[in-house]
A and B are shown apart, each in its own frame.
Chain A
Amino acid sequence: SQQGEEDPQALSIQEGENATMNCSYKTSINNLQWYRQNSGRGLVHLILIRSNEREKHSGRLRVTLDTSKKSSSLLITASRAADTASYFCALAGDSSYKLIFGSGTRLLVRP
């Protein structure tokens, strides 16, 4: 299965701390995407990293990709209560029009 496995399943941190979420996968990919979902809402795209890239930044977000280990991590720096949400990695396969989601990490940022 191409599905990403996310770790941890849940994470609780204090406001101002950094949050790190990991995604591992088994097959080759064209790109890997991270999404955020606030409770009961639709998903919002955060970052897309291609298989030939190693690191990308967007504001307080940093994503790394290690294709040799088939893993990616999402780092949120200086977290805020508003970052409380579920975060999903999604795998875009090589030669495929399917985007397959992991089961997500639930992040709670305590004020």
Chain B
Amino acid sequence: NAGVTQTPKFQVLKTGQSMTLQCAQDMNHEYMSWYRQDPGMGLRLIHYSVGAGITDQGEVPNGYNVSRSTTEDFPLRLLSAAPSQTSVYFCASSRTSGGVLSVNEQFFGPGTRLTVL
């Protein structure tokens, strides 16, 4: 199993450009999420999804869109990039626990390092 994969590994954008960060998992996990990590800080939740067709906002959703058309893929779209979105972006996935509303052990991808000039 490849686990959680992310592309690209590195990306440089100009202010105002848009792009999509790709995330895929092959573990049949229902739950997927996107985080950003700024230098010297912890991770902040951007968006998450508990299954195909279901997405919701995390702590810092502004400027980002997500969709979940399949169980495997959870792309993150930057609509109009800003320098404040310079960060490392991590995608993660986990199984859900049936009717229990909580988050289990997360499997993380290797990250995408994004610079917005």
Contacts and interface: CB of A to CB of B under 8 A. Distances in A.
A35 B107 CA distance: 10
B90 A97 contact: no
B20 interface: no
Nearest to B6: A42
A95 B101 CA distance: 5
A45 B109 CA distance: 12
A41 B110 contact: yes
B45 interface: yes
B114 to A, nearest CB: 14
Interface residues of A, number: 26
Nearest to A1: B59
Contacts of B92: 43
Nearest to A47: B105
B48 A97 contact: yes
Which interface residue of A42, A44, A98 has the most chain B CB atoms within 10 A? A42
Contacts of B105: 33, 45, 48
Interface stretch (A11-19, A64-72, A76-84, A100-108): A100-108
Contact of B58 (A30, A48, A93, A98): A98
Given A30-B102, A103-B42, A97 B56 contact: yes
Contacts of B42: 3, 88, 101-104
28 contacts: A3-B42, A30-B101, A31-B102, A31-B104, A33-B106, A35-B108, A41-B111, A42-B109, A42-B110, A43-B43, A88-B42, A88-B43, A94-B102, A95-B101, A96-B101, A96-B102, A97-B31, A97-B50, A97-B102, A97-B103, A98-B48, A98-B103, A99-B33, A99-B106, A100-B45, A101-B45, A102-B42, A103-B42
Interface of B: 31, 33, 35, 41-45, 48, 50, 56, 58-59, 90, 92, 100-111
